[in-house]
């Protein structure tokens, strides 16, 4: 865990790194009111044994309790392909509403077809609130707003809360570059446009990423600024135009295998983090479609 020391009028941001999925969860709090939002929480899953657990989500709850915080929102930036969302679990524990971008409906429609779920409701009802581009909300007295940031997925949004922007998998740390855009519904041109919109925020805006893969075996990092990304991001420095970036991204993505949990995770995450209902024997089952992602490279991968 790392806590960013806040300035007056800006939110405190605590990041929690999950080394199994290279994901970062956040608790964003208003020091004045002690109200907070949880962003991109992880529900633990071991694909080898099929075991689920709440270790990382409970770490967030312990932090909230230790600092006397009240959870106002449980937020996901997009339906994740590499870990299960703990949004439903945390709602049960805190009573706070869950939210995601309204664009999740398009991802639900895409994946319900892949899973052959004709009766699955693809209207976003699995969340308490759906945010659209330009919508505003509050964490305590700190104002937040929504940026639609498609490209990595067709549903990705950025949460801008005070001087902090949570950019999910659009940008990594400057030495890590940018996110892939080849998932179903992904698009490299839209990713470029989303990155440019994020980099148009004020230079000192703090940017918090959804993953870190620790290039060069350095320690995990997840915070940068707009200025730093603009001046030092390896993919943007090497590919400074839309055409060069799109060509790089498409060539690079064609060689990347799918994340190992994508087929496991999407059937949970398009349900708002709800696990499949138990069958008559009381056990829950995942459904893995075969040959559903034609052209995907073989082997191990990071998202």
* Tens-digit pLDDT string for the chain (303 aa): 655 544 445 999 999 999 999 999 999 999 999 999 999 999 999 999 999 999 999 999 999 999 999 999 999 999 999 999 999 999 999 999 999 999 999 999 999 999 999 999 999 999 999 999 999 999 999 999 999 999 999 999 999 999 999 998 899 999 999 999 998 889 999 999 999 999 999 999 999 999 999 999 999 999 999 999 999 999 999 999 999 999 999 999 999 999 989 999 999 999 999 999 999 999 999 999 999 888 888 865 554
Tell me how far apart the alpha carbons of residues 121 and 112 are, in angstroms, rounded to a whole number.
Answer: 9
177-to-40, 196, 212 alpha-carbon distances in Å:
20, 14, 10
Please say whether the beta carbons of 243 and 222 come within 8 A: no
Q: What is the pLDDT of residue 297?
A: 85
What are the sequence ranges of the domains in the chain? 2-260
Please say whether the beta carbons of 116 and 110 come within 8 A: no
HSE-CB at 263 with a 13 A cutoff on CA atoms is 18
Name the E strands within 10-135.
Answer: 12-18, 23-30, 35-39, 42-46, 51-53, 70-75, 84-85, 98-101, 129-131
Please say whether the beta carbons of 208 and 222 come within 8 A: yes
Q: What is the pLDDT of residue 58?
A: 98
What 133-138 contacts at long range (C-beta under 8 Å, 24+ apart), as own/partner pairs, is: 133/157, 137/73, 138/72
CATH classification for the domain delimited by 2-260, as one of 3.40.109.10, 3.60.15.10, 3.20.20.70, 3.40.30.10: 3.60.15.10
Please say whether the beta carbons of 198 and 179 come within 8 A: no
- List the beta bridge partners of residue 166: 159, 208
Q: What is the pLDDT of residue 151?
A: 95
Sequence-distant (≥ 6) Cβ neighbours of residue 282 within 8 angstroms? none
Q: What is the pLDDT of residue 295?
A: 83
Vertex 111: Cα angle to 108 and 114 (nearest 5):
155
Vertex 79: Cα angle to 76 and 85 (nearest 5):
60
Tell me how far apart the alpha carbons of residues 79 and 60 are, in angstroms, rounded to a whole number.
Answer: 20
Phi, psi of 30 (to 5 degrees): -95, 110
Q: What is the pLDDT of residue 296?
A: 84
Please say whether the beta carbons of 62 and 99 come within 8 A: no
């Amino acid at each position: 865990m790392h806590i960013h020391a806040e300035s007056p009028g800006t939110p405190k941001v605590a990041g929690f790194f999950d080394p199994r999925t290279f994901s970062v969860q956040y608790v964003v709090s208003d020091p004045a009111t002690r109200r907070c939002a949880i962003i991109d929480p992880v529900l633990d899953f071991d694909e080898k044994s099929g075991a689920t657990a709440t270790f990382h989500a409970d770490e967030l709850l312990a932090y909230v309790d230790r600092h006397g915080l009240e959870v106002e929102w449980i937020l996901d930036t997009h339906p994740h392909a590499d870990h299960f969302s703990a949004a439903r679990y945390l709602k049960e524990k805190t009573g706070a509403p869950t939210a995601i971008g309204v664009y999740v409906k398009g991802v639900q429609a895409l994946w319900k077809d892949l899973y052959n779920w004709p009766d699955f409701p693809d209207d976003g009802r699995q969340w308490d609130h759906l945010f659209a581009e330009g919508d505003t909300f509050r964490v305590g007295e700190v104002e937040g707003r929504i940026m639609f940031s498609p490209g990595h997925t067709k549903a990705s949004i950025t949460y801008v809360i005070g001087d902090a922007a949570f950019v999910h998998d659009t940008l990594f740390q400057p030495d890590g570059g940018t996110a892939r855009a080849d998932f179903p519904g992904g698009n490299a041109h839209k990713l470029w446009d989303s990155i440019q919109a994020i980099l148009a925020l004020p230079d000192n805006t703090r940017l918090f990423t959804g993953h870190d893969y620790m290039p060069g075996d350095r320690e995990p990092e997840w915070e940068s600024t707009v200025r730093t990304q603009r001046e030092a991001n390896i993919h943007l420095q090497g590919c400074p135009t839309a055409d060069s970036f799109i060509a790089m991204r498409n060539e690079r993505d064609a060689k990347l295998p799918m994340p190992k949990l994508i087929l496991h995770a999407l059937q949970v995450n398009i349900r708002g983090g709800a696990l499949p209902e138990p069958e008559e024997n009381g056990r829950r089952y995942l459904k893995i479609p075969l040959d559903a992602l034609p052209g995907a490279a073989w082997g191990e991968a990071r998202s």
